[in-house]
Structure 1
Amino acid sequence: MATINIPYGRTQLTLNIPEHRIEGILESRAHQFQPEAEERQLVKMALEHPIKSLRLRDLAKGKKKITIITSDHTRPVPTKIITPLLLEEIRSVNPQAEITFLVATGFHRASTRNELLNKFGEDLFKNERIVIHDGQDKNSLVNIGKLPSGGDLIINKLAVETDLLIAEGFIEPHLFAGFSGGRKSVLPGIASRITVLANHCAEFIAHEKARAGILEDNPIHTDMLYAAQKANLAFIVNVVLDSNKKIIQAFAGDLEQAHVAGCNFIGKLASVKSMPADIVITSNGGYPLDQNIYQHVKSLSSAEATCKEGGVIIACAACNDGHGSEDMYNWLRNGAQAVMKKIMRTDRNSTIPDQWAAQIMARIQLKHTIIFVTDQCDHHILKTMGFEAAYTLEQAMRMAEAKVGSQAKVTIIPDGVAVIVN
């Protein structure tokens, strides 16, 4: 008998299963990677040796206004470690600079006061200027041109009016952008909803290159990179994390080159071979990415890549914040068939909010039964969206076995966000 642990919120769920039923366990090697230094030192080393860029302190000389784009509450970016080092680098040469932290919410809800306190720490929260991006506030946005795809490129004014634009973030596989980090700080991070919708259109989401681990010829990445370049994102600091959300490597410097270096690093660690099975158990790696149903499109897409057609995907997901997207919820209430039919007839300029998430969810629903394991989310919400629900992992396994057999093979992806399934 094997004991399997799956991240769930800030804890984990445990399942005992006969070893002969386990087809495979797919995990990123980042979780066992031994870093060459402790977290703060890794970031400091990256700042001291930027890739294809001057040091940040040299870029900051003489700049009056400096804006630092930072991730919101849905991302486990270790801001408490990164930010003090950024401020130290800037203020060592420019103590009078007006520094603003711009929280990149993209299409997410605004971060709460407690979430910002948890992210920045009390000292930074009280003493630094923090602004939360709102992609629907026309007064805070400005049009700076057109995306390669033709959509309007509209971003936060603070990023345009600043003298130096910087971004912190982290790099992991991303289900349609290839990888997170780098250019994503601008699009979707601080972009208008109009711009995000143009980039997340049905045509691009369905594109064969819009998949985890792929940057080349990925139309979504192409738009994102162009947006960041047009916004003059001058310097990035991106980290790679293990399963405990600890920094194992850091990359700083040029928007594109530093990001590519980070993508190459995590890409080698995250790539795993598909092990098809009738039951696939996965998660979003626990808090903070498992706070809502919306975010779980990530782990479900990894499970989709190794679940046999007609099989069952079990998602261990706290979802204490509910569905996370009213728009996605309303889409999926109509049923997967109807969703896909309507979405694939929707042209690029008519994209609806969170259409992309409904498109991917519906695509997976049409091939697999999806069971969410949660004792923190209203099961009625899940069932209305076309999912099944269980309170425990054991209950979910019984439900799955009733569909595909009591001896069905099982593939486990403890952290579906962290892997690239080939």
Structure 2
Amino acid sequence: MSDVLGGAGRILDDDAVRAYVAGRLAAADLDGRSVCVIVPDGTRSCPLPLLLGALHRALEGRASRVTVLVALGTHAPMDEAHLLAHLGGPYPGWTVRNHEWWDPDALVSLGYIDADRVAELAEGRMKRPVEVVLNRAVVEHDVCLVVGPVFPHEVVGFSGGNKYLFPGVAGQEIIDFSHWLGALITSAAIIGTRGTTPVRALIDEAAALVPSHRLALCLVVRSGTGALHAASFGTPEEAWAACADVSAKTHVSYLDTPVTRVLSVVPAKYDDMWTGAKGFYKVEPIVADGGEVVLYAPHITRLSATHPEIEEIGYHCRDYFLGQWDRFSHHHWGVLAHSTHLRGAGTWTPQDGERGRVTVTLATGIPEDVVRRANLNYRDAGTVDLDDFAADPGTLVVPQAGEVLYRLR
């Protein structure tokens, strides 16, 4: 069973965290075994220098070798300077690698989840087999140790745990598959949902095929900082569940009534709209019908660093794709999912076309023609005055947007 250090409303002392990590790893069967440590990339708030420093001390002289694998999903790789700042270190004797999701030689197949089982897990939304592919570094080590935070998430409900395997260090097919399942449910319906959602069930099923011994150090991080509210160590399923309970009390902010407009101030750790779109996902539930979300990010100059096809497809609601599936099914489903997540709820029919529930406006460094071609609204970032927005009683200004979920009571 997993146990929890800390809790909602608490801030953990660094020495207490180090002692917790040392104690839990001392009791784990790691002597003489190789360990693959899976960590988040720079789009997640997490005090990795503190945690990896504690892990390095705990594993020194015990693990036969250690590889740190950065869970990119399909994000852009982190360069050496960014990795050093993100991870801390250096960590003598350890190897640090990006997850090379684009390189077939870096991946290995663990088999398939058959169509009937997929239909069961997906509650009938999908029925086709999916190949379970992930980074071969995971299976080439005796132990897989996930280290990462838990936040409300638009695809799976709450992130963390086995999600660092799938999609974190997985092949593109299962990444696309799991994200499209989430899109069929819709971001607004699944985000912040506790328990085992259909997407979580699919991820856990895939993780059960991993031959390595799986452990996790899950964390609840104060949004936008390196401070920890809680930590939990155990199996990925147990540690995740414990931290998701704390995250649900920590990372969800409730309003009594919907707002007409939200200004989401997107932090610099999101360097394209593919990642910065979290500023929309986390606030969509509180916007009134016909309202607007303005994503303010002057530093963002492109829609996606790694998925240029989003410029061709644009941003549309789920029913736009489902109603014209023959036109879109050949595209990566993960791209289609991202498209629906940022466009939000809406309808499409051949007669009436597409109607979004809310307007999505980009006030970024992305050129106006690119934004409008992608089916989003444009505003010159230079015209955004934070004080003016804050003074408007119908507007909610969200600083450091992207990690805290806003919901109606």
TM-score by length of 1: 0.78
CA distance in 2, matches of 1:182, 1:393: 41
CA distance in 1, matches of 2:334, 2:136: 22
User: Which residue does the alignment assign to 1:45?
Assistant: 20
User: What SS does the corresponding residue of 1:354 show, helix, strand or coil?
Assistant: helix
User: Which residue does the alignment assign to 2:169?
Assistant: 190
Change (3 A) 1:418 1:355: same
Select 1:110's aligned residue among 53, 77, 99. Answer: 77
Alignment check: 8 A CA contact 1:151 1:199 kept: no
Q: Structure 1: which 5+ residue stretches go unaligned?
A: 1-29
Change (3 A) 1:104 1:39: same
CA distance in 2, matches of 1:179, 1:383: 32
Alignment check: 8 A CA contact 1:68 1:167 kept: yes
User: Which residue does the alignment assign to 1:72?
Assistant: 41
User: Which residue does the alignment assign to 1:292?
Assistant: 272
Alignment check: 8 A CA contact 1:72 1:104 kept: yes
Which structure has more RCO (C-alpha within 8 Å, separation ≥ 6)?
1
Select 1:323's aligned residue among 296, 303, 309. Answer: 303
TM-score by length of 2: 0.80
Tell me the CA shift for residue 320 of structure 1: 3.1
Change (3 A) 1:412 1:129: same
User: Which residue does the alignment assign to 2:184?
Assistant: 206
Alignment check: 8 A CA contact 1:278 1:408 kept: no
Letter in structure 2 aligned against 1:276 = P
Select 2:281's aligned residue among 264, 278, 301. Answer: 301
Aligned length: 371
Letter in structure 1 aligned against 2:396 = T
Alignment check: 8 A CA contact 1:316 1:393 kept: no
Tell me the CA shift for residue 216 of structure 1: 3.3
Q: Deviations over 1:337-396 (max 9, x none)?
A: 7x842355549985534211102223358122222333x444443333223123246359
Q: Deviations over 1:94-141 (max 9, x none)?
A: 4xx1111111111111111221121123523x7531122122322121
Alignment check: 8 A CA contact 1:327 1:353 kept: no
Alignment check: 8 A CA contact 2:45 2:223 kept: no
User: What SS does the corresponding residue of 2:73 show, helix, strand or coil?
Assistant: coil
User: What SS does the corresponding residue of 1:206 show, helix, strand or coil?
Assistant: helix
Alignment check: 8 A CA contact 2:253 2:405 kept: yes
Change (3 A) 1:346 1:368: same
Select 2:111's aligned residue among 137, 145, 148. Answer: 145
Alignment check: 8 A CA contact 1:301 1:364 kept: no
Q: Structure 2: which 5+ residue stretches go unaligned?
A: 1-5, 119-128, 347-355
CA distance in 2, matches of 1:382, 1:57: 53
Change (3 A) 1:388 1:122: same
Tell me the CA shift for residue 327 of structure 1: 2.6
Tell me the CA shift for residue 170 of structure 1: 0.7
Alignment check: 8 A CA contact 1:152 1:195 kept: yes
Letter in structure 2 aligned against 1:109 = A
Change (3 A) 1:207 1:342: closer
Alignment check: 8 A CA contact 1:293 1:319 kept: no
Q: Deviations over 1:13-52 (max 9, x none)?
A: xxxxxxxxxxxxxxxxx9x9342x323522532552x5xx
User: Which residue does the alignment assign to 1:373?
Assistant: 363
Cα RMSD, aligned residues only: 3.1
Alignment check: 8 A CA contact 1:173 1:420 kept: no
Letter in structure 1 aligned against 2:311 = Y
Change (3 A) 1:241 1:287: farther
CA distance in 1, matches of 2:279, 2:102: 28
User: Which residue does the alignment assign to 2:372?
Assistant: 383
